[in-house]
């Protein structure tokens, strides 16, 4: 099993993603928010790149969610804080979402065999789901403005650690790229206090200054959710691929 970790969406080449299982990560905050929404009963999420696409896809009764520069987009129902998506009003709702980096990364992976949304919150479950698909795995870190973001790398390291452990226990050879190995070592270094690691990283500091410190604390929790969002016909669903096939 080959595992490739890509530092940011800008560095992803189409050939790297074709026919692979792709895990898209945007810890602060898109994939953490999508996971939270689906965990709290959201029916489906349509991830799109632009505000215009979101408005065109939007239908009566659906909700619009997303951010630009970390703030809720004017006229949208919701921003990109995962804590907004615990409200009872999202239960059973379809949400069209656009974010600066995370939804773009999901769209970039459209030629993958399978697309999963990963975060620290569901890292272990995400690794297990990806391993069960028996394909080479690409972990695509969204990054921020096409630059690597530490929180995504740490999450990739968690997932690599879990994949390596599962491969070892099954006697499967695991070929991890050098960047993936470095992120695995980084995760091991900070795993005892992920909250402080995220609060001290660039995006954690920026979000805290903007009043979203609690988002950072929430998103720093490891393996608290067993759900794995998957892309099916252009939308994220709260169903495992094994049950969708």
Sequence-distant (≥ 6) Cβ neighbours of residue 187 within 8 angstroms:
154, 155, 156, 157, 158, 160, 161
In terms of C-beta distances under 8 Å and separation of at least 24 residues, what long-range contacts does 74-82 make, across chains too? Answer: 80/29, 80/30, 80/33, 81/29, 81/33, 81/212, 81/215, 82/29, 82/32, 82/33, 82/35, 82/36, 82/37, 82/215, 82/218, 82/219
Among the listed residues 21, 45, 20, the one whose alpha carbon sits nearest the alpha carbon of residue 35: 45
Token couple for 192: 């005892």
- Contact present, 137 and 172 (Cβ < 8 Å): no
Query: Dihedral, CA atoms, 161, 185, 119, 124, nearest 10 degrees?
Result: 20
pLDDT in tens, 104-113: 999 999 999 9
CA distance 215 to 220: 9
The pLDDT, as a whole number, for residue 211 is: 98
Q: Output the pTM of the full model.
A: 0.96
User: What is the β-pairing status of strands 63-68 and 71-72?
Assistant: antiparallel
CA distance 77 to 106: 22
Beta-bridge mates of residue 117: 24
Positions of the chain with pLDDT lower than 50, given as ranges: 241-245
The pLDDT, as a whole number, for residue 240 is: 53
Phi first, then psi, for residue 125 (nearest 5°) are -65, -40
The pLDDT, as a whole number, for residue 245 is: 38
| Residue 28: strand, helix, or coil | coil
pLDDT in tens, 145-172: 889 999 999 999 999 999 999 999 988 8
């Amino acid at each position: 099993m080959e595992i490739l970790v890509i530092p940011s969406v800008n560095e992803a080449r189409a050939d790297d993603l074709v026919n692979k299982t792709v895990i898209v990560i945007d810890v602060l905050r898109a994939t953490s928010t999508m996971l939270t929404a689906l965990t709290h009963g959201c029916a489906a999420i349509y991830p799109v790149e632009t505000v215009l696409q979101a408005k065109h896809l939007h239908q009566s009764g659906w909700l619009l969610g997303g951010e630009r520069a970390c703030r809720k987009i004017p006229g949208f129902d919701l921003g990109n804080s995962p804590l907004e998506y615990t409200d009872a009003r999202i239960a059973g709702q379809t949400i069209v979402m656009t974010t600066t980096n995370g939804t773009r990364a999901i769209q970039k992976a459209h030629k993958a065999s399978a697309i999963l949304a990963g975060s620290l919150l569901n890292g272990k479950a995400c690794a297990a789901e990806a391993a069960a698909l028996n394909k080479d795995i690409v972990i695509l870190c969204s990054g921020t403005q096409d630059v690597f973001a530490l929180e995504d790398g740490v999450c990739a390291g968690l997932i690599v650690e879990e994949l390596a452990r599962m491969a070892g226990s099954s006697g499967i050879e695991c070929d991890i790229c050098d960047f993936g190995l470095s992120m695995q070592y980084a995760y091991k270094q900070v795993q005892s206090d992920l909250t402080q690691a995220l609060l001290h990283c660039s995006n954690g500091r920026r979000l805290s200054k903007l009043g979203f410190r609690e988002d950072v604390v929430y998103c720093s929790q490891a393996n608290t959710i067993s759900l794995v969002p998957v892309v099916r016909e252009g939308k994220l669903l709260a169903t495992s691929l094994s049950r969708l096939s």
